[in-house]
A and B are shown apart, each in its own frame.
Chain A
Amino acid sequence: MSAESDQTRGEYDYTAGSYIGEDRPPQPAGGIAAATVRREIGGYLLGLAFAVILTIASFWVGRTTLVYGPSLAVGLLVLAVAQMGVHLIFFLHITTDPDNTNNVLALAFGVLMVCLVVFGSIWVMTHLNQNMTSPMMDHAMHMES
Chain B
Amino acid sequence: MFGKLTWQAIPFNEPIPLISGFAVYAMVVAILIWVWKKGYLPYLWREWITSVDHKRIGVMYCLLGAVMLLRGFIDAIMMRAQQAMAFHSNGYLPASHFDQIFSAHGTIMIFFVAMPFVIGLMNFAVPLQLGVRDVAFPTLNSVSFWLTAVGALLVNLSLVVGEFSRTGWLPFPPLSELRYSPGVGIDYYCWAIQISGIGTLITGINFVTTILKIRAPGMNYMRMPVFCWTALASSLVIVAVFPILTATLAMLLLDRYLDFHFFTDTAGGNSMMFMNLIWAWGHPEVYILVLPAFGVYSEVVATFSGKPLFGYRSMVAATMAICIVSMCVWLHHFFTMGAGPEVNAVFGIASMIIGVPTGVKVFNWMFTMYGGRVRFTSPILWSIGFMVSFVIGGLTGVLLAVPAADFQLHNSEFLVAHFHNTIIPGVVFGLFAGYTYWFPKAFGFVLDERLGKWAFWLWVVGFWVAWAPGYVAGLEGMTRRLQHYDNPEWHPWMLLSALGVLIILAGIAAQVAQLVVSIRTRAARLDVTGDPWDGRTLEWATSSPPPAFNFAKLPNVGSREAYWDIKQQPREARQLLTPEIDYEPIEVPRNSPTGFVTAALATVTGFALIWHIWWLVILGLIGAYGTFVVFAWRDRTEFVIPAAEVARIDGENRNARAAHLLELAR
A contact set with B: CB distance below 8 Å: 1-5, 8, 102, 106, 109, 112-113, 116-117, 120-121, 123-125, 127-132, 141-142, 144-145
Contacts and interface: CB of A to CB of B under 8 A. Distances in A.
Given A120-B280, A121-B277, A128 B272 contact: yes
Contact of A113 (B273, B327, B343): B327
B338 A132 contact: yes
A12 B262 CA distance: 50
A76 to B, nearest CB: 23
Nearest to B346: A123
B401 interface: no
A47 to B, nearest CB: 27
26 contacts: A1-B133, A1-B214, A2-B549, A2-B586, A2-B587, A2-B588, A4-B553, A5-B133, A5-B214, A5-B554, A102-B212, A113-B327, A120-B280, A121-B273, A121-B276, A124-B276, A124-B343, A125-B276, A127-B339, A128-B339, A129-B272, A131-B339, A131-B340, A132-B337, A141-B268, A144-B266
A124 B330 CA distance: 11
Among A113, A125, A129, A144, chain B packs the most CB atoms within 10 A around the CB of A113
Contacts of B217: 8
A125 B330 CA distance: 13
B593 to A, nearest CB: 22
B276 to A, nearest CB: 5
Contact of A129 (B212, B240, B270, B280): B270
Contacts of A128: 272, 276, 337-339
A142 B267 CA distance: 7
Contacts of B553: 4
Nearest to A143: B266
A122 to B, nearest CB: 10
Contacts of A8: 217
A106 B343 CA distance: 29
Nearest to B281: A117
A5 B555 CA distance: 12
Contacts of A116: 280, 327-328
B331 interface: yes
B89 to A, nearest CB: 37
Contacts of B330: 120
Contacts of B276: 121, 124-125, 128
Complex A-B, nearest 7 residue pairs according to Cβ-Cβ distance, in ascending order? A132-B338, A131-B338, A127-B339, A144-B266, A113-B240, A127-B340, A127-B343
Contacts of B272: 125, 128-129, 132
Contacts of B280: 116-117, 120-121
B273 A125 contact: yes
B175 to A, nearest CB: 18
Nearest to B132: A5
A97 to B, nearest CB: 15
A124 B268 CA distance: 18
A116 B326 CA distance: 12
Interface string B99-126: 0000000000000000000000000000
B337 A145 contact: no
A130 to B, nearest CB: 8
Contacts of B213: 102
Contacts of A113: 240-241, 327
A2 B272 CA distance: 50
A142 B269 CA distance: 10
B385 to A, nearest CB: 34
Nearest to B327: A116
Contacts of A106: 208
B259 interface: no
A80 to B, nearest CB: 20
B565 interface: no
B489 interface: no
B534 interface: no
B404 to A, nearest CB: 16
Given A117-B244, A124-B276, A128-B272, A109 B327 contact: no
A129 B340 CA distance: 10
A2 B270 CA distance: 52
Nearest to B342: A127
A138 to B, nearest CB: 11
B268 to A, nearest CB: 6
Given A2-B549, A117-B244, A128-B338, A123 B343 contact: yes
A101 to B, nearest CB: 10
A5 to B, nearest CB: 7
Nearest to B280: A117
A102 B211 CA distance: 12
Nearest to B586: A2
A19 to B, nearest CB: 16
Contact of B267 (A3, A109, A125, A145): A145
Contacts of B327: 113, 116
Given A120-B280, A120-B330, A128-B339, 13 more contacts: A1-B214, A1-B587, A2-B587, A4-B553, A5-B214, A109-B236, A113-B240, A113-B241, A124-B276, A125-B272, A125-B276, A129-B272, A132-B272
Among B272, B277, B328, B339, chain A packs the most CB atoms within 10 A around the CB of B339
Contacts of A123: 343
A141 B174 CA distance: 14
A102 B136 CA distance: 15
Contacts of B266: 144-145
Interface in B512-550: 549
A127 B217 CA distance: 52
B218 to A, nearest CB: 11
Interface in B260-294: 266-268, 270, 272-273, 276-277, 280
Interface in B142-200: none
A128 B343 CA distance: 9
Nearest to A113: B240
